[in-house]
Amino acid sequence: MHRAGQSPGIPAPHLLLALLMGGGLLAGCSSSSFLGRQFENFRAYYNTFYNAQKAFNEGVRSLKAQQAQPVDLTTYLTLFGPPQRTANAASFNKAIEKSAEVVRRHPQSKWADDALMLIGKSYYYLGNYAGAAQKFREVIALGGTQALAARFWLARALVAARSYDEAHRVLQETLASDQVPDDWRSRFWLLQADLYVQQARWELAREALEAGLRRVPDRSLGARGYFLLGQVCETLQDYACAYAAFARVQRYRPDYELAYAAAWQAIRIQGLYLDPEAALVQLRRMERDDKHFARRAELAYLRARIYQAMGAVREARALYYQLLYESEANPGRIRARAHYALGQLYRDAFQDYLSAAAHFDTAAAVLRSRQARAGTEAPATPLALIDVQEQARVFKQFAQIRQEIQRLDSLLYLGSLDDKAFAAFVLELRRQRARELQAQRRRAGQRAAERQFLQNRLSQSARAGAAEAAFEGGEAGFLFHRDPVRVQENRARFFERWGRRPLVPNWRRRAAIQGTAVTARTQTGAPFEGLPDRDDEETLPPVDVSEVPRDSLRQAQMRAERARLRYELGNVLFLSMQQPDSAAYWYRLVILEDADQPVAPRAYYALAEVQRALGDTLAAQALLEALLSRYPDTPLASRIRGLLGMPSQPQPTASDTLARAEAAYAAAVKAWQQGAYQKGLQQLLEIAARYPETPVAPRALLAVGYLWRDMLDRGLLADSARLPPVIMPESLRRALLSQTSAEIDTSGEANAVAARAGQAMGPDTLRAEKSLLDTLLTLEVLYTYLVNRYPQAPEARRARQLLTALQAAVSDTGDKEATRGAARALPQRRPDGPGPLREPEPMRAVWTILLLETDKEEEIGQVLPQYRALAQGRVIDVRPVRVGERLHYRLILGRYRSEEETRAAIEQLHPVLQGGARPLLLEPTGQENRN
């Protein structure tokens, strides 16, 4: 039985206890009570913060999946960010929304600071570093358990935002505290190292990494820390430290990508800087490991790179080519690196700058596309190809200029050919073009036949119908006249059957004559040069030869352009490619072959700078003095005088000009008296060109004839009809060509030079001979110019008499002996000069400059063209001499009376002479070879 008022089934004591507990619970539900706080934390966690944490973790997992890719060895590995842009921004936005709800609805719960931290981390991963830093500061202000973590994340956000000074201040304040646990202290040191790496403060970064790695808190952070230490040590060129750091990464059992990158880097450092043989052993182990099968291209590149560092350049080049063009492995990530290494090989080892330009350009193109996709601004490691774009630009410029010089050389060579040789060349070119077109048509016909065959196999009935339609005037037309392949095939069959019958009269008679000639050639075995097949020439395709300079004006313009390009090529080699030796060759070529061009003074100055860079200050000074002597009135000469502290030349008045002309004339006569005939001749011509308005100019022109007679009497001239070869001043050359009706006929001389040069010298030698022959001058042309230019001068009357004698002698006999006889008629006295004149002493000993001695005839042929322009009328000769049982060849320059005079000439020519030139005493050997 139950008592009245009691609930059935609940004992009275239990009911009372339940009522007391319910009342107490209702009374203690305020937020300040213990039960209230527990209830608030419970609701805050399960209603909002749990979902926020879950969304945040999903976003972090997405980021880690994005980062699971090969390590970029061209940038420094970051330990704590900045993070990559996430593709799953929705997860972090959801985490921010849920965490903000926790802060709004449950500000007193214990999850409030955790929610603020979650918001800050989400902002950080989304790239909103300013918002993240603000949230982390709020957590620090709360002073809860998350304060230390908030300071760490605050420093991360500031580093990512490039607020390096503020980040450094936060890190230093934290590390100065004694209350920081060891695991957090290690993290702060490693973050400090990240900051130093971003600032390129390598020594401080190394110290911070070593401090942070003493007690690294987790395995992943330790592996990444030692990898970064290896990169920093390599930057500091401490290769032993770098190798040890990369090797230690394996102790932390990192993921595959980081482990592979560390092993690859360790082998690279060991192979390039420490022990290449041991590195190759380690590399072989990696190549045999099946898990690296997908990376065999990178391992092959590493092997080639080690070979290149060891000096096995040919083996390295073979491996690079095999990797790029023959291997089944995809070069992918190392394609640009392999092309860059090939460019280095061709640049440094093989001196093939054109091939280097091609490989540098390919490497730059690959890297441009890759960098455009990456868009990263991270610091670059020593492994990064930071100069590839500049190398590609410089070597491309070199290649373009070099190819243009080669084109101008070829055009000038073709322009120097006579009409018959040029016509033969054009004909052969047209025949070659015809063969190329025929081969193209043949290939096109084969492709068309293959396509037709495949179509026929697809449908036999369609093929029969198409053939019938074509015969009846279908798509191909009657007799297939719309089908070019069938037309060409029928044309070829017709020619095979009937031959080429030209549409001209008497073709049968011509064929009979040619047939008889062919029969005679077959019977006798002798070559036959019959009538040209004009009809065959008419059917050949045309070629464009409009760029070939066939007149002297265009050739002069092209030589000027070639001289400018040679100078520009020297500038590229010297200033951009840091190849002073190669640059000196091109500057010297301008000085030797293009001395009359406007760019020649600049070539002198540039060569002087090259010699100064090579440490030869004496040669540099000699070049500057030569520049001031040969081009005294140029703006460059004025600037050089200012740099050297020399007084600038005042603008001469009329009296000053006459005085200078008289002084120059006296110097020329003195050189003549002392036996320096070539020098005196050159100076007389320069006087006539430089001072044309003074009375000294006609006197100098007349004196040329007397000097010529003197040289002829002494046997110093091989050709009595012409003056010795000299560098004609440009203004005088133009005046001679424009004011006289006589033309300088050099074709016979050119043929003679070509015959003497022989086949071994090639087209370069012939071009050098042609440029020298352009300066040859007859006495008749010179005196005709004197009479026309200075008709009232006293020297003009004497020049008319001499011209009459010359013309009369030539008209009587018409050969060179007549000219020699007329030259003998010239008076033997010398022109009046300042002071008494006397005849030079006869030479008792003959000295010369030995330029080269070798037992290789082809080497003489290669060097001889460079010195012909240098000769400037001096005798240049190749003399065989037997040394032991071998025949040697000596290339000699000039004739001098004493060893001292020879050494003085060497000193004067030193800037443009190759090393090894020395005086040589000659023995009389009969007639000189003055090629």
Domain hosting residue 572, numbered range: 552-647
CATH code of residue 884: 3.30.70.1070
**For 594-616, how does the pLDDT look when each residue is reduced to its tens digit (9 = 90+)?**
888 889 999 999 999 999 999 98
Rounded CA-CA distance 640/595 in Å is 19
Peptide bond into 924 cis (omega under 30): no
Residue 355 in any domain: the answer is no
pLDDT of 375 reads 47
- At which of 225, 243, 274 does a domain end? 274
Q: What is the pLDDT of residue 370?
A: 64
pLDDT in tens, 535-560: 456 778 888 889 999 888 888 889 99
H-state helical runs in 418-551 = 419-458, 460-471, 484-498, 507-524, 534-539
- 255 in the same domain as 116: no
Query: What is the side-by-side strand order in the sheet with 918-921?
Result: 876-883, 886-896, 847-854, 918-921
Q: Of the segments 24-33, 149-158, 368-377, 482-491, which one has the largest average pLDDT value? A: 149-158
Please give the pLDDT value at position 84.
66
Distance separating alpha carbons of residues 386 and 383, to the nearest angstrom: 9
Residue ranges of E strands in 308-432: none
End-to-end CA distance of the chain: 150
Verify that 571 and 708 share a domain, yes or no.
no
Q: With pLDDT > 70 as the criterion, what percentage of the chain qualifies?
A: 70
Specify if 367 maps to a domain.
no
Whether the predicted pLDDT of 193 surpasses 70: yes
What's the CATH number where 139 sits?
1.25.40
In a domain, 618, yes or no: yes
Instruction: Enter the DSSP assignment of 832.
Output: P
- For residues 166 and 230, membership in a common domain is answered with yes
Tell me if 717 sits within 8 A of 929, measured CB to CB: no
* Pair (639, 663) in one structural domain: no
Give the per-residue pLDDT at 100: 82
Of 591-600, 695-704, 814-823, the one with minimum mean pLDDT is 814-823
- The phi, psi pair for 849, rounded to 5°, reads -100, 120
Asked whether the predicted pLDDT for residue 764 surpasses 50, the reply is no
Confidence (pLDDT) at 5: 41
Say yes or no: 633 and 775 in one domain.
Answer: no
Residues 236 and 175 in one domain: yes
Based on the domain organization, do 573 and 637 belong to the same domain? yes
Q: Are residues 715 and 689 in the same domain?
A: yes
Contact, 266 vs 285, CB < 8 A?
no
328 located within any domain: no
DSSP H/E element including 100:
helix 89-105
Q: Which two tokens stand for residue 624?
A: 């500057």
- Answer with the one of 258, 274, 290 that is the final residue of a domain: 274
Please give the Cα distance from 265 to 492 (Å, whole number).
Answer: 65
Q: Provide the 10 A C-beta neighbour count for residue 709.
A: 21
Using DSSP's 3-state secondary structure scheme, residue 888 falls into strand
Pair 698, 786: CB distance under 8 Å: yes
Q: Which pLDDT value is given to residue 16?
A: 44
pLDDT over 90 at 172, yes or no: yes
10 domain-assigned:
no
302-333 confidence digits (pLDDT tens): 999 999 999 999 999 999 999 999 888 878 78
| Residue 544 forms part of a structural domain | no
Q: Does 104 share its domain with 204?
A: no
CB-CB contact of 109 with 44 (8 Å): yes
Q: Which residue has the tokens 């970051």?
A: 78
Whether residue 191 sits in one domain with residue 58:
no
- In the prediction, which pLDDT does 838 show? 36
Summarised one tens digit per residue, pLDDT across range 272-289 is: 999 999 999 999 999 999
Whether 170 and 240 map to the same domain: the answer is yes
Q: Specify the number of domains making up the chain.
A: 5
**Residue predicted with more confidence, 465 or 926:** 465
Q: How confident is the model at residue 514 (pLDDT cuts 50, 70, 90)?
A: low
- 63 shares its domain with 187: no
Tell me the per-residue pLDDT of 209-250, one tens digit each, with 9 for 90 and over. 999 999 888 898 999 999 999 999 999 999 999 999 999 999
| 389 domain residue, yes or no | no
Residue finishing a domain among 612, 647, 682: 647
In a domain, 208, yes or no: yes
CATH value at residue 215: 1.25.40.10
